[in-house]
């Protein structure tokens, strides 16, 4: 039975990974969490690491581990007092990741699966083009820069050791209890508020949490996944308007949208100092996920419509 170490196991993606691997019944699961869980799962071994940037010795946590699934990361700066955000991202997302990978290689871990971000490719696509694994990286903010630097360090490690690296760059991941922009949209829609997003005709790739977890599980064992970078997404694209409408319908709620031109939303974003958020709502972000499909024979297990339904009812299903 393969032993899997999941970092960030109490987070949105990490917790769903753990639940799915438990349902598989063919893995021994060890979890790295920031604090002791209130209701620990029987049979799972927990390692409490409040800050992975300061963890210098992973020897015990890596003992006998076959595969590390590394989802722990700093994605946002919530405290305005934390002015040195680049240093914070560097310590956690880069230094913490590479220290773990270095010790994993020394302990004989076979594979290291790293959850990166499509932000490594860039903030948006234009003129109907799609991001692919062959594109020159163009990270657009400090978080994406830190993910890119971690990727570079991991690829060096794969060349100098026997550790196999798998890098996954997902777009927005949605599902039950998702954080970030999707969670905010879900909250607003369920409260019945009107949104000025009825006139956005962009095209964005998304991925349901079920589909991402399914792909990660394939990467645990698939020989052809070794030392590869993958972009993964659901089939097709959604505009922001279609996403909001889809969430409302999935929740059985009326669609409350006001049509405002994208250029006006962008202007409002500048006035409200929310330029990045407005650009994310209005811009295209299209992924070419053919490599994952062709090399690993992977297909999204559920449709976007079904993914939104599961998000609305608040559960993940096998």
Supply the residues annotated as catalytic: 143
Give the residue carrying structure tokens 């905010």.
184
Host H or E run for residue 172: strand 172-174
Give the residue carrying structure tokens 């209701």.
39
> How far apart, in whole angstroms, are the C-alpha atoms of residue 293 and residue 315?
26
> How far apart, in whole angstroms, are the C-alpha atoms of residue 95 and residue 102?
10
CA separation, residue 151 to residues 95, 102, 145 (Å): 11, 13, 10
> How far apart, in whole angstroms, are the C-alpha atoms of residue 260 and residue 247?
19
Instruction: Give Cβ neighbours of residue 304 (< 8 Å, ≥ 6 apart).
Output: 206, 208, 234, 235, 236, 238, 246
Strand partners, 45: 30
Torsion over CA: 308, 298, 170, 167 (sign): positive
């Amino acid at each position: 039975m393969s032993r899997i170490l999941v970092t960030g196991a109490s987070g949105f993606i990490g917790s769903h990974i753990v639940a799915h691997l438990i349902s598989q019944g063919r893995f021994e699961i060890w979890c790295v969490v920031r604090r002791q869980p209130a209701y620990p799962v029987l049979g799972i071994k927990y390692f409490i690491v409040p800050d992975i940037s300061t963890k210098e010795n992973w020897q015990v946590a890596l003992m006998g581990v076959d595969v590390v699934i590394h989802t722990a990361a700093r994605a946002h700066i919530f405290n305005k007092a934390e002015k040195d955000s680049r240093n914070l991202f560097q310590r956690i997302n880069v230094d913490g990741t590479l220290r773990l990978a270095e010790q994993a290689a020394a302990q004989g871990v076979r594979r290291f699966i790293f959850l990166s971000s499509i932000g490594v490719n860039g903030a948006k696509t234009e003129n109907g083009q799609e991001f692919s694994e062959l594109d020159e990286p163009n990270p657009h903010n400090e978080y994406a820069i830190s993910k890119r630097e971690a990727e570079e360090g991991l690829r060096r490690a794969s060349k100098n050791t026997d550790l196999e690296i798998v890098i996954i760059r997902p777009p927005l991941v949605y599902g039950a209890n998702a954080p970030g922009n999707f969670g905010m949209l879900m909250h607003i829609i369920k409260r019945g508020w009107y949104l000025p997003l009825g006139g956005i005709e962009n095209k964005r790739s998304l991925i349901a949490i079920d589909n991402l977890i399914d792909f990660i599980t394939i990467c645990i064992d698939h020989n052809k996944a070794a030392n590869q970078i993958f972009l993964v997404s659901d089939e097709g694209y959604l505009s922001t308007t279609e996403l909001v409408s889809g969430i409302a319908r999935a929740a059985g709620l009326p669609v409350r949208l006001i049509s405002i031109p994208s250029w006006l939303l962008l202007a409002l974003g500048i006035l409200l100092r929310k330029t990045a958020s407005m650009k994310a709502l209005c811009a295209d972000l299209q992924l070419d996920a053919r490599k994952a499909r062709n090399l690993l024979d992977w297909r999204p297990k559920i449709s976007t419509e079904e993914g939104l339904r599961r998000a609305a009812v608040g559960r993940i299903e096998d």
